[in-house]
Each structure stands twice: as C-alpha cells, then as structure tokens.
Structure 1
Amino acid sequence: MKLKELLQGISVLSATADMEMEISNVSYDSRSTKPGELFVAMRGFETDGHAYIDKAVTAGAAAVLCERLPEVPAPYVQVENSRRALAVLGANFFGHPADTMTMAAVTGTNGKTTTTYLLKAILEQAAGAKVGLIGTNQNMIGNEILPTDRTTPESFELQRLVAGMRDAGCTHVVMEVSSHALALDRVYGVHYAVGIFTNLTQDHLDFHKTMEAYCDAKGILFQNCDVGVYNADDPWSERLMEGAACRKYSYGEREGADLRAENISLSASGVMFDAVVNSRRVPIKVGIPGGFMVYNTLDVLGAALALGISVENSARVLAGVPHVKGRVEVVPTPGKAYTVLIDYAHSPDGLRNVLSTVKGFAKGRTVALFGCGGDRDRTKRPKMGKIAAELADFVVVTSDNPRTEEPAAIIADILPGLEGTAVPYVVVENRVEAIHYCLDHAQPGDVIALCGKGHETYQEINHVKHHMDEREIVAAYLKKQG
C-alpha cells in the first residue's frame, strides 16, 4: 500500500517521506520491525518509542511516523498523536473491517467476559449470526479459538483481528473494551451499534489515579455507539452517561429502568427472575449462580433488544447457556464432600460478588483463597482483605501474579484488612502450596473459592509467565492422594 493511502484521514504536521513509497506493513516495536515497514513511535508509560527510532531504521523501516522529529536521518511523517494515527493506519491497511459488521462492546469493572459470551450465544442461536468475540479469556471466530494476551488488543492488532473475522464470514463482533483501551485509543475510530456498561468499582487506580478518571475513560465508549445500554442501579452511571452521544437504554432492579428484573430467585444452580419491559413480563432462567448474574443477564437482554432480538427469543437461549470458564467455575472433586470453584475475582467488588454467591449456597464453610496482582493498585489490597474477613469463614492469603513485586510485600498490604477481625486466616505465599493447604484442611460441605486467576493458566513473575492451571493442580493433588 502506498504511504499516502495509508495516511488517509490522518492530519500530517510535516513530512520528508515520499508519499508514493510502498509500505509492506506497520510496526510499533523496533524489535519486530522488518524492511519496508512504517515504524510508529508512540509514547508509553515505561518507554518512549521515539527512543527506538534508530533501531527501527537499522532494521530497515522505510519511514517513521512520530510526534517528535527523529534524531537520526530517516524519512518521517510527523503527527500530533501517534496512538490515534496507529488506529487509523490499521483501519486503512485492513480495509476498515469494522464498518462491514455489526459491532457490540462491553465495558465495566466486572462482568464483561460473561456478558460477551451470553450475547454471542444469543446472536448465534436467536439470530443465526456468525460472531467474532474479543476478550479476556480468548478471541473467537465462530467456534475457532484464538489466543489473547490482553482484554483489548493494540489498535493495529485489533484491526487485523477484526479483518480476520470479516474474511471468515462473521456478521457480528462482540468485544470487551477495557478502560485502558479507551484511554489509550486502542478502539479509536471504531463505531459500535451497541455499547454496554456493566458497573464501576475500584480497580486500575494505578493507571487512572482517581475513580472519576476511571469513569470518564469508560464513558468514551458512549461517544462512539448508536445505543448505550447501562446499569441504572450503578452510582457512577449518571456521570458516565451525562455526555453520551448515543440513545440511552437503562436496566436495573429499581423502578424507572427501561428493562427491570422482578421476582428474583437465587440458588446454587443459577438465577431466575421476571424481565419487565414495556409492561411485558418474560421469565428468565440462567444456570450461572450469583446475584451479580441478574445484572449480567439484564445487560445482555438490553443489548439484544437494541440489535433487534426479542426478550422472549433471548430467554430461550439463556436457559441453555453453559458456564463461562473461570467465572464461578466448579472444579471436579470426585468422591470428595467439598466443592472447589475458580473465579477471576481480582477486585474488591469481584471478590465480594463471588464470596456472597458462595455464602448463599455453601452447606459448610466458605473458604476464600486469594492474593493481589503486583504492579497494580495497592490501595485495593487491604480492602480485599476486609471483604474476605466479612464474607468468608476461613481465609488463605497467597500470591497472585506478583509481576515485579515481592509476593511477601503484596501480602503485607493485604493483611491489615484481616488483622483484628474474628475470621481465622493463614498465609501461604506459594500459590500451589496454598491450594494444597485448602484441600488438606477441607471439611464436609465446604466450598473453597480459588479467587483471582480464573481463566488464566499462568503465574507472571518478573515478566515471565510460568504455567499454572488451578484445575490441573487440584486434579493432580487429588490423584496423588488417591
């Protein structure tokens, strides 16, 4: 593609590069740059891509797109915002794939993954659509599974992925959109038929610094969609939606919401309620337990309505959907009188949700095993300790993904939330040993909630991901015990 074609829609401040030159690809990491590519220098939080322009040029970059002029001789294109430019480059390079499909996005602190899976099932089974999915657990093209490293890919990779979905015949794409992705322009230029807001509770303050900034990042989505389906019961919704440029559609349990849940019934086997919309009452049943599932179901029903699917048709699909991996997922423990489940809960509200759910059906003790991620918001650590003390009957504090922090230091931040409370707890730093401890000390009727890893099959330590699948750990230990 010629450089001038690649730059369509981008405001160029100055340039020395030949606009007629052919560009083979776009790169933004000098370590992977190949001859003939356009290298995009972006400012990051740990590094600045402008410092690697010389390496990209040495690797054969045909030209450089940058905000600051290169300090080494190189054909360049100077722009005001490299991140937004990268998003437009991706759309141009791959032929604007998002424009050819119906796009749906979900944002919020908790519930994004479950919401996308439920909406994908409804679109496939009630509308006969072929659906691409982009999210935390995995990416999917129909039933084909693709690996993923982050909730929302970098903009150029996102456009590549969406183009692959278009080429595979997908008519719809359902995706999780993180606050990072919105703040860092990873979805810049993508327009959505429907945007969904689940909830907002403390998380990612290491990045956003304040809850207001966190909320405002989420709000960017509703500047770029046709219909905004939002949680009317969430206290942040008013701020989030006040500047929305879309049609607003609310859901909740309170009077006044466009779509309401009434006659709610919760059990170990799932949730049941009546969905009330326009004076119609439709019975809803979903086989995933937890009070939070009422909201995860309402938002899907609202989004499906916005996409032309009736509540009645959605209800038929929801009655048969399976569990989502890593979300209140029961691990087989054959012959044992206790239950082990895995959940991705890694924020205060997420931990509260899963432990409240377990407390509602556990015949014995609610046992909580959890840690906190390193290099992330430290202020949530004692809060999670306090929540565990409030809702669990026994707590095992351990390591999560310590990243570049010392696990003991992270645990020390958690313990003030537990100290001085009546709940008994132990600290077992090694997560595998902590799981073994829970199994060794399990009592009949106990529900052991392994919180924080969910779908993840690794533990990240000093930038290295070590294989760790909690399902395998439980199965191997039980087999060893005979």
Structure 2
Amino acid sequence: MKLKELLQGLTILEATADLEMDISHVSYDSRQTRPGDLFVAMPGFAVDGHDFIGKAMEAGAAAVLCEKIPQGGISEDGSEIPRGGIPYVRVADSRRALAVVGANFYGHPADAMTMVAVTGTNGKTTTTYLLKAILEQALGAKVGLIGTNQNMIGQEVLPTERTTPESFELQGLLDQMRRGGCTHVVMEASSHALYLDRVYGIHYAVGIFTNLTQDHLDFHKTMEAYCDAKAILFRNCDTGVVNADDPWAGRLMEHASCKVLTYSEKADSDLRAESISLGADHVAFTAVTAEKQVPVRVNIPGGFMVYNTLDVLGAALALGISLEKSAEVLAGVPHVKGRVEVVPTPGKDYTILIDYAHSPDGMENVLSSVKGFAKGRTVALFGCGGDRDKTKRPKMGKVAADLADFAIVTTDNPRTEVPADIIADILPGFEGSTTPYVVVEDRIEAIHLAMDHAQPGDVIVLCGKGHETYQEVNHVKHHMDEREIVADYLSAEK
C-alpha cells in the first residue's frame, strides 16, 4: 500500500518521507518491525517509542510516523543515519494516527458491520455474551465478540491478551471478523482503550454503560477522570444505553452526542425492572417500558444480574429486537465462564463458585448474592492484583469482613509486587470486625484449605481470577486454572 493511502484522514505537520513509497506493513514495537514497515512512534507511560526509532530503522523500517523529529539512527546496512536523515511523517498525535492508519490499512472493516460497545467497571463480559446470544438467535446474525475472556468469530474462539487490543490489532481483528462473515460485533471498551484511542475512529450503533465503581485509579488517578474516559464512547455512538441508577450517569452523559435509552431498578427510565425475584440459580423480573411488560428470566444468579440483563434488553431494543424475543433467548442462555461459575464438586456437601470479582463493588455484588442463597457459610477467598490501584485493597478487605462468614486472604496476580506487601495492604480492612480470617499466601494452598475446612451448605467463592487460567508473577504467566486445582484435589482424596 502507498504511504499516502495509509495516511488518508490525517493532518500532516511535515514530511520528509516519499508519500508514494510502498509500505508492506505497520509496526509500533521496534522488536516486531520488519523490512518495509511504517514504524509508528508513540509516547508511552513507561517508554517512548521515539527512543526506538533507530532500532526500527535498523530492522528495515521504510519510514517513521511520529510526533517528534527523529534524532538519527542506524540503517539496515549498518551505516549511521544523521539527524533529519530518517524519512518521517510528523503528526500531532501518533497514537490517534495509528488508529487511522490501521483503519486505512485494513479497509475500514468496522464500517461494514453493526458495532456495539460496552463500557463500565463491572458486567461488561456478561453483557457482551448475553447480547451476542440474542443477536445470533433473534436475528440469525454472525457475531464477532471482543473482550476479557476471549475473542470470537461466530463460534470460533480466538485467544486474547487484553480487554481491548491496541488500535492496529483491533482493526486487524475486525477485518478478520468481516472476512469471516460477521454482520455484528459486540465488544468491551475498557477505559484504557477509550482514553488511549485504541478505538479511535470507530462509530458504534449502540454504546452501553453498566456502572462505575472504584478501579484502575492507578492509571486514571481520580474517579472523575475514570468517568470521563468512559464518556468518550457516548460521543461516538448513535444510541447510548445507560444505567440511570448509577450516580455517575449524569457526568458520563453530560457531553454525549447520542440518543439515550435509560434503564433502572429504582429511577424513572425508559426500561425498568419490576417484581424482581432472586433465586439460587437465576434472576427473574418484569421488564417494563411505556408500551409493555414482559417477564424475563436469566439462569445466572445475583442481584447485579438484573442490571446486566436490563442493559442487554435495552441494547437489543435499540437494534430493533423486541423485549419478547430477547426474553425468549435469555431464558436459555448458559452461564458465562468465570462469572458466578459453579465448579463441580461431586459427592461434596459444599459449593465452589469462581467469579472475576476484583474490585470492591464486584466483590460486594457476588458475596451479597451468595449470602442470599447459601445454606451454610459464605466463604470468600481473594487477593488483590499487584501493580494496580492500592487504595482499593483495604476496601476489598472490608467488603469481605462485612459480608463473608469466613475469609481467606491470598494472592491474585502479584505481578512485580511482593505478595506479602499486597496482603498487608488488604488486612486493615478487617480491623474492628469479628469475621474470622486467615492468610495463606500461596493461592493453591489457600484453595485446598478452603476445601479442607468446608462445612455442610458452605458456598466458597474464589474471587478475582474468573476466566483466567494463569497467575502472573514478575512478567511471567504461570498456568493456574482454579477448576483444575479443585478437580485435582478432589481426585487426590479418593
């Protein structure tokens, strides 16, 4: 592709590169750069891509797209390139430019499909899976899914590394979905992705807001900034489906440019849940609009599932699917992996659940739900992720102290932090509480202890890992699947 074709839609501040040159591919990591690439240098939080322009040129990059004039480098044949000798195109924002270049490179795949994005602290993954099911069964659509658990093209599963890929990979994934016959895409849009322009330039038919509670303050610093990052979505969609009960909804929609459909349990809204019934294995309610009332049942427990269902019903309405049809589909949708997921414990008189809850609100949701149906104790096993917001750690401890009958404090993904230090940050949350707890740093040993000390009717909630099948320590992901840990321990007892 010609360089000028890749740059369509960008405002070029200056250029020394030949815009007629052929570009074979695009890279933004010098370690992945190949001969003939356009290397996009982006400033980052840990490193600045401009510092690796020389490495990219050494790897054979044909030109550089950047914000700052290149300082020189080494050519492919090993000779030195003087300052100003590197062919470059300078723009004001190279991160946004990467998104535009990606869309140009792959032929704007999002324009060929109906795009839906879900943002919020909790509930994004469940929402995307439920909506995917409705689109497939009510419309007969082939649906692409992009999210925390996995990416999917119809029923084909693709691995995923982060909730929302970097913009160039995202455009490549959308192209794969388009070529695979997808007519719709349902994706999670994390606050990082919105703020860092990974989804820049994509217009959505529907944007969904689930809720906003404390998380990611290591990155956003304040709840206001976190909210404002989420709000970007609602300046780039046709219809916003918004939780009217959430206290941040007003700020979120302050500068929205879309039509708004609200949903709620409590507030006046376009779509409400009434006559709510919570069971050990389901939620049920009546979905009410100005025109009709429709009974709804979803076979996933937890009071929070009412909201996760309302937002799906609202999005489906915005896409022209009736409440009746959506309710019919939802009645048959199975569990979502890692979300209040029951782990088989044959022959045992206790229950083990796996849930991705890794924020104070997420833990409160799942533990409150479990207390509503547990015949015995509610046992919370949890830790906190390393290299992430430290202020939520004692809050998660307090949630466990307030809602669990017994707590086991352990590790989650310690990443580069010392596990004992993370646990020390959690424990102040138990101060003043009479809830018994123990500290078992090794998560596998912690799960074994929970099973060894389980009493009849107990519900043990393994919080934090959810769908993950690894534990990250010092940049290395070690295999850890809690389903396997439970199964192996039960087998060893026989």
Question: TM-score when scaled to structure 2?
Answer: 0.97
TM-fit CA distance, 1:419: 2.5
Conserved? CA contact 2:245–2:267, under 8 Å: no
- Residue 142 of structure 2 corresponds to 130
- The Cα shift of 1:95 comes to 0.3
Match of 2:132 in 1: 120
8 Å contact kept, 2:263–2:269: yes
- Equivalent of 1:284 in 296, 305, 310: 296
Post-superposition CA distance 1:397-432 (Å, at most 9, x none): 000000010000000000000132100000000001
- Residue 485 of structure 2 corresponds to which residue in structure 1? 473
* Deviation at residue 255 of structure 1 after TM alignment: 4.3
Q: Which amino acid aligns with 2:277?
A: S
Alpha-carbon distance between aligned partners in 2 of 1:254 and 1:470, rounded to the nearest angstrom? 37
**Residue type of the alignment partner of 2:7:** L
How many residues are treated as equivalent by the alignment?
482
Q: Deviations over 1:138-197 (max 9, x none)?
A: 000000000000000000000000000000110000000000000000000000000000
Aligned-residue offset at 1:281: 0.6
**Alpha-carbon distance between aligned partners in 2 of 1:201 and 1:248, rounded to the nearest angstrom:** 21
- State the partner residue of 1:391: 403
Q: How does 1:298-447 map to 2 (within 5 A)?
A: 298-447=310-459
Q: 1:128 & 1:76 partners in 2: Cα distance?
A: 47
1:272 aligns with 2:284: yes
1:20-61 Cα distance to aligned partner (Å, 9 max, x none): 100000000000100000000111111110111000000000
Instruction: Give the secondary-structure state (helix, strand or coil) at the position aligned to 1:12.
Output: coil
Pair 1:216-2:240 in alignment: no
Give the structure 1 partner of residue 472 of structure 2.
460
Residue 316 of structure 1: how far off its partner (Å): 0.2
Is the Cα contact below 8 Å between 2:213 and 2:361 reproduced in 1?
yes
CA RMSD, Structure 1 to Structure 2 (Å): 0.5
Unaligned 5+ runs, structure 2: 73-84
Amino acid at match of 2:95: R
Alignment partner of 1:261 is 2:270:
no
Change (3 A) 1:403 1:346: same
Distance 1:42 1:344 in 2: 32
SS at structure 2 position matched to 1:21:
coil
Question: Does the alignment pair 1:8 with 2:8?
Answer: yes
> Aligned to 1:195, what secondary structure does the other structure show?
strand
Q: SS of the residue aligned with 1:228?
A: strand
Post-superposition offset of 1:322: 0.3
Deviation at 1:74, TM superposition (A): 1.2
Amino acid at match of 1:281: Q
CA distance in 1, matches of 2:473, 2:419: 9
Aligned partner (choices 231, 243, 249) of residue 261 of structure 2: 249
State the alpha-carbon separation in 2 of the partners of residues 69 and 359 from structure 1: 60
Local SS of the residue matching 2:19: coil
Deviations 1:285-341 (A, max 9, x none): 000000000000000000000000000000000000000000000000000000001
Letter in 2 for 1:26: V
Among 243, 248, 273, the residue aligned to 1:236: 248
2:175 aligned partner: 163
Quick one: which amino acid aligns to residue 391 of structure 1? L
Match of 1:21 in 2: 21
Q: Which residue of 2 aligns with 1:200?
A: 212
3-state secondary structure, aligned to 1:47: coil
Q: Distance in 1 between matches of 2:406 and 2:18?
A: 67
Deviation at 1:369, TM superposition (A): 0.2
What is the rounded CA distance, in whole Å, between the counterparts of 2:483 and 2:266 in structure 1? 39
After superposing on structure 2, the runs of 4+ consecutive aligned residues of structure 1 that deviate more than 4 Å are: none
CA distance in 2, matches of 1:365, 1:53: 58
The residue correspondences of 1:53-92 to structure 2 (distance < 5 A) are: 53-72=53-72, 73-92=85-104
- 1:69 counterpart letter in structure 2: I
Gaps in structure 1 of 5+ consecutive residues: none
Question: 2:3 is matched by which residue type in structure 1?
Answer: L
Q: Distance in 2 between matches of 1:43 and 1:460?
A: 26
User: What CA distance in whole angstroms lies between the structure 2 residues aligned with 1:176 and 1:38?
Assistant: 28
1:256 deviates by: 1.6
Aligned to 1:295: 307
1:278, distance to aligned residue in structure 2 (A): 1.6
Please report how far the alpha carbon of residue 242 of structure 1 lies from its aligned counterpart in structure 2 after TM superposition: 1.3
Correspondent of 1:174 among 148, 161, 186: 186
* Letter aligned with residue 471 of structure 2: Q
In 1, the alpha carbon distance for the partners of 2:291 and 2:58 equals 67
Residue 48 of structure 1 aligns with which residue? 48
Residue 213 of structure 2 aligns to a residue whose secondary structure is coil
Secondary structure of the residue aligned to 2:13 is: strand
| Deviation for aligned residue 1:279 | 3.5
- 1:92 is displaced (CA, Å) by 0.2
Residue type of the partner of 2:96? R
| Structure 2 counterpart of 1:480, one-letter code | A
Deviations 1:449-478 (A, max 9, x none): 000000000000011100000000000001
**Cα distance in structure 2, aligned partners of 1:410 and 1:67:** 38
Specify the code of the residue in structure 2 equivalent to 1:444: P
Distance 1:155 1:279 in 2: 41
What TM-score does the superposition give when structure 1 sets the normalisation length?
A: 1.00
Percent of matched pairs sharing the same residue: 78
SS, match of residue 207 in structure 2: strand
CA deviations 1:245-277 (Å, max 9, x no partner) are 000110001242000000000010110000001
